[in-house]
Amino acid sequence: MSQLLDKIPDVDIDGHGKFKYILITVEDETNKASKQIVRGYARAQWHGKFVIYLCFFIYYIVCLQFYL
Active site residues: 47
Binding site residue list for substrate: 20
Whole-angstrom CA distances from 48 to 2, 10, 32, 43 are 27, 19, 26, 12
Q: Which residues contact 32 (CB under 8 A, 6 or more apart)?
A: none
